[in-house]
Amino acid sequence: MVLYRRNLIPGGTFFFTVTLADRRSSALVNHVGILRAAFRNARSLKSFAIDAVVILPDHLHAILTLPEGDADFPGRWKSIKAGFTRCVAASGVSVPRNRHGEYRLWQSRFWEHTVRDDADFERCANYIHFNPVKHGLVTAPVAWPYSSLHHYVRKGLLPADWAGDGCNDGAGFGERAE
């Protein structure tokens, strides 16, 4: 088994990709209200800031900032994933189980990246907001309803037509080329 090393920086800002086990599923957008409630519940137990987020049918991307002195983002994701799974199952939706009878809605792990500076934050946020276009779900980022882009537009941080001319292929968004 591979030993995953997490960069547990108290008060850090992190970019995450969290994915459903079935990449053909649309459970996240089909039950987005339950997902939002799972985030709210996790935040009520252990605070964190959601700096940017996009919910796609089978995965989500988010930038989260933890409080000073706190590095437990794995615990927060465990809470979000478990809360969402329990509520989806309780709503009567059939949720797959593994051979031990445990729910198998999510991939067991998630990917994280420590946000290093303001430029890195901007790249990650741009990646998040452009992701629905990248996946062919919409032709302009503002057309996707499950994105923090709408918050950025309301706050005047980005224009409503940001990256919406159909000419941007997302180059330069996401991870920095080494």
The CA distance from 73 to 116, in Å, is 16
- Which SS3 state, helix, strand or coil, does residue 53 take? strand
Catalytic residue among 4, 127, 146, 152: 146
Assess whether 127 carries a catalytic annotation.
Answer: no
Q: Which residues contact 142 (CB under 8 A, 6 or more apart)?
A: 149, 150, 153, 160, 161, 162, 164
The residues carrying an active-site annotation are 146
